[in-house]
Amino acid sequence: MPPANDTSTGLPRTLSPLTKATITALSLLTLTGAATTQAAAAQQPRPSAQPACATDRTGPYQEELERYLGQWVDGVQTSLDCRAIQKFQLREGVQPANGYAGKSTYQMTVVAKARANPGVGTLCPVRRGRVACVDQKRQLMWVQKGKRVLVPPMPVRTGAKKLETRNGWHRVYYKKRKEYSRLYKNAPMPYSMYFSRGQAIHGTPNDIFRGRGSAGCVNLRIKDAKVMWRTLKIKDRVYIFGRKPAVKKHDL
């Protein structure tokens, strides 16, 4: 018959006091170590989804971003510049928000500056009805009714050289939510709003901030195209003006 256990320690009574003390001490150390490990794990910071700041990368629009954000303008990336740019990127939804002064971030400064009054100093006429204004020089689009802005400015990509988006007055004559290009390998054109002989305002899954331009359409980010789709109706006016700036090599 096995020896009975000591009710105070749970150890067999036949063990010597020294052995009991050793086993008890080891048990306490094990419990203490496990508790410490759990506490340390609980205190570990959760990994952040925010990308690391590109403090060692000077972007092609470094000076423009420094000037807009009130940083020291020297055209060289610093940790202070990077944090300021990253904060702006997070606020404006620029991805990746890594503090790099690239084209997408610069273009969003153009949007931000125009937000309060996008039509001031431009050629977009004020009318009683809705007018979708497309400013090719600034690569912006907004919707106004009279002097009231219905949809604030958003970035666009208009036609490349020899495939220019047609300037002047147009009307939305056809809308199709799920559309594909018949000319360009079935490229997706979600939320299409046609306004001039096959040219349309539509969303694109591609990066609108890169490349030479569209094939004539007014490209929008998908989230912006949804807003335009809900706002613009058949027969609404579209006014396109200005000239798309030449594309810089680093933006291709």
Each residue's pLDDT tens digit in the chain (252 positions)? 555 555 544 545 555 554 545 544 445 445 455 545 555 555 554 545 678 999 999 999 999 999 999 999 999 999 999 999 999 999 999 999 999 999 999 999 999 999 999 998 888 999 999 999 999 999 999 999 999 999 999 999 999 999 999 999 999 999 999 999 998 989 999 999 999 999 999 999 999 999 999 999 999 999 999 999 999 999 999 999 999 999 999 998
Both 158 and 217 in a single domain? yes
Give a yes or no: residue 53 inside a domain: no
pTM, whole model, 2 decimals? 0.80
Cis peptide before 152 (omega within 30 of 0): no
Buried b (16+ CB within 10 A) or exposed e, 175-205: beeebebeeeeeeebbbbbbbbeebbbbbbe
List of residues 6+ apart from 92 with CB closer than 8 A: 105, 108, 111, 112
Distance between CA 27 and CA 30 in Å, rounded? 5
Both 108 and 135 in a single domain? no
Predicted confidence at residue 26, as pLDDT, reads 47
Full domain range(s) for residue 178: 118-251
Both 85 and 136 in a single domain? no
Both 228 and 180 in a single domain? yes
Give a yes or no: residue 79 inside a domain: yes
- Please say which residue of 74, 91, 113 terminates a domain: 113
Kind of pairing, strands 174-176 and 218-221? unpaired
Both 182 and 232 in a single domain? yes
Both 108 and 139 in a single domain? no
Both 140 and 228 in a single domain? yes
Give a yes or no: residue 15 inside a domain: no
Predicted confidence at residue 23, as pLDDT, reads 47
Distance between CA 173 and CA 197 in Å, rounded? 10
- Please say which residue of 113, 130, 145 terminates a domain: 113
Both 93 and 142 in a single domain? no
Q: Give the chain's domain count.
A: 2
Both 178 and 149 in a single domain? yes
Both 107 and 160 in a single domain? no
- Please say which residue of 91, 113, 135 terminates a domain: 113
List, by residue number, the catalytic residues: 202, 217
Both 210 and 131 in a single domain? yes
Give a yes or no: residue 76 inside a domain: yes
The token pair at 138 is 């600034």
Both 95 and 140 in a single domain? no
